A and B are shown apart, each in its own frame.
Chain A
Amino acid sequence: MAIVKTYQLSKTYKSGSFKKTIVPALVDISLEVSSGEIFGLLGPNGAGKTTFVKILLSIVRATGGSAELFGKSVGDTESRAHCGYLPENHRYPGFLTARQTLLFFGELNGVQKTKLEDKAVELLEFVGLKEWSNRKVQKFSKGMLQRLGLAQALLNDPQILFLDEPTDGVDPIGRKEMRDLFVNLKKKGVTIFLNSHLLSEVEMISDRVAILNKGSLVKVGTLDEVRGGVTVHQIQIGGILSPEQIRSTGLNPDVVRSDDSITTISVTTDAELNRTIDLLRSWGIMIKAITQQKSSLEDSFIKLVTDGNTP
């Protein structure tokens, strides 16, 4: 079942005081996010990721197309009652303590007051802020604010959690804890919509990803589909050879990289692998290692974004 559904969703901004210039932020985005999955929305800065999430939460109004949450138009207030949201660069009133912050936002979420106190304590413990519960938020570090933001987003036991750069400012251990937390939430049936430019993080936990570039949807699918399912063979040889030297031998590898005293030659097909090995051996070059790797999300992302692909 699709929890998020958009059809040709578009957003344009007008800039300039007198002579208005129309700036497209999103162009005809059609995608679906299914219940219980971790969905990663990727894109370079300014690609339109935050705008997309804000439209789903009625913070920004779309200028074209349609968007639905839980089968209802995104303007429907009740559908937001089942959403949790951790915005990018969020700010909480500095004069509130962590506990007061959760109590206040819990009330805004419509959580019953009788349950709220226990819920706040439980979530503060969950995100590792129990000992800071009575400290004023203005004294919190960026990482602590992110944790508090996450607790705030979970107050209403959401069915879908929108996370905009959730690990921004969080230390590596905290990031790992957050990732584990997202996976646990997924196991409980929570759908997670993850906006991030940290590709490796998205790659570790996402079921499906979409790549936005300049407001357009470049690619959407499972990780394998987006990565292209390409397997790369890497041959490591001793000594430094330039790409030109290798190509002069008739070999045509995809990537040649030289670090210190080792050169890595990457080829994608089995035939190319065997031909390269034969040639290298016939020249008496020592092969140090051969490894097989799937192309990373980062490789595909860079290729898709720099090629200026649009669907």
Chain B
Amino acid sequence: MKMLAMMRFTLFEAIRRGTLIFYFAVGTIIIAAFAIWLKKSPDDPTMITMFGTSMPGNINGMSSAEFFLVMLLRQSTFWIIVLGTFGAAGLMTSFLEKGIVELYLSKPFQRWELFVSRAFGAAAGVAANLMYCIVGLWLIFGIKLGVWHFGFLMAGLLVSYAFICYFSLVAFMAMWFRNAILAIVLGLFFSFISIGLEAREKGLYKLWNNTLYHRALDVIYYVTPQLDGMLGNASRLVGQMPFSPEPVVFNPAPFFYSLGSAALFYGLSIYYFSLQDF
């Protein structure tokens, strides 16, 4: 009950800070845009129109509806997650402020309970908005085009999962530095690094042909949440990335590795929090 109260309060705080309302508004605008402008072509029912522009019925071997869904997942979720950290990181430092943290710690609460309920409250707000957007789009595609793509819904769940894993790193930074801005900057830095790490064999390895350097990159890749790997695989539940020569194969490994990584960073945060004096 105490943990639920803290999670609920964290969500409430996110709403009061305006961050959740902002995400909700952005999500609603996206859903509304598709609700208004996404249509079946009146000339050819296999074709769809968006913003008045007709799309061919088949793009690179996939239906235009699938093409849209894949592009939405691949191109927008990364930015939604990155933006999500802006609001959620602040929640991880505001409860540590002098004058309020003493009140929380004086309650019959274990420190890990306090941290976990706070972190999951913060992450849940972003994840809930993400799911709202995904479910809304899923309904629009189903109602307007008759495309009820359950892979898209599942991908939405995986993207939310990816955010919770990625947020472990941001929460750790916030706990360590007690500074939301620094946590956001480092989180953003890492999110871009994760793209390079995912394709390190084709890019970062070639910068320096040194085994130690390659192994160091591997360690960073496996220890930290594999954000780009998770988002890429989530979109594969809908279809192949257009014009990509790679086959549509869903690989669950990044999700498992990232679970371990999230456990590590949340664990480190709790350990660090438990040692602190306030």
> B residues 84-109 with Cβ under 8 Å of A?
97-109
* Contact B108–A59 (Cβ < 8 Å): no
A93 CB contacts on chain B under 8 angstroms: 9, 13, 16, 100
> A residues 107-145 with Cβ under 8 Å of B?
107-110, 113
* Contact A90–B100 (Cβ < 8 Å): yes
Chain A min CB distance to B21 (Å): 13
Which range contains the number of B residues in contact with the other chain?
Answer: 20 to 34
* Contact A90–B99 (Cβ < 8 Å): yes
B99 CB contacts on chain A under 8 angstroms: 87, 89-91
Does B275 reach chain A (CB closer than 8 Å)? yes
* Contact B2–A59 (Cβ < 8 Å): no
* Contact A54–B102 (Cβ < 8 Å): yes
Chain A CB within 10 Å, residue with most, of B2, B108, B278: B108
* Contact B6–A61 (Cβ < 8 Å): no
* Contact A59–B106 (Cβ < 8 Å): yes
How many of chain A's residues have a CB under 8 angstroms from any CB in B?
29
> B residues 104-130 with Cβ under 8 Å of A?
104-110
* Contact B108–A110 (Cβ < 8 Å): yes
Cross-interface CB contact of A87 among B6, B9, B106, cutoff 8 Å: B106
Does B25 reach chain A (CB closer than 8 Å)? no
Chain B min CB distance to A189 (Å): 20
A54–B105 Cα gap in the complex (Å)?
9
A109 CB contacts on chain B under 8 angstroms: 107-108
A57 CB contacts on chain B under 8 angstroms: 102, 105-106
Cross-interface CB contact of A59 among B9, B110, B277, cutoff 8 Å: B277
A113 CB contacts on chain B under 8 angstroms: 1
A230–B70 Cα gap in the complex (Å)?
87
Chain A min CB distance to B5 (Å): 4
* Smallest CB gap from B5: residue in A: A107
* Smallest CB gap from A104: residue in B: B9
Does A81 reach chain B (CB closer than 8 Å)? yes
Chain A CB within 10 Å, residue with most, of B99, B277, B278: B277
Cross-interface CB contact of A91 among B1, B100, B275, cutoff 8 Å: B100
* Contact B98–A80 (Cβ < 8 Å): no
B109 CB contacts on chain A under 8 angstroms: 77, 80, 108
* Smallest CB gap from B1: residue in A: A107
A/B interface sample: 10 pairs, CB < 8 A: A54-B277, A57-B106, A59-B101, A85-B106, A89-B99, A91-B100, A95-B13, A105-B103, A109-B108, A110-B1
Q: Given contacts A80-B107, A87-B99, list 14 more A-B pairs with CB under 8 A.
A: A54-B102, A57-B102, A57-B105, A58-B106, A59-B102, A80-B109, A83-B106, A85-B102, A85-B106, A91-B98, A91-B100, A93-B9, A109-B107, A162-B106
Which 10 residue pairs are nearest across A and B when measured between Cβ atoms?
Answer: A91-B99, A107-B5, A81-B108, A85-B106, A95-B16, A60-B277, A108-B107, A87-B102, A80-B108, A57-B106
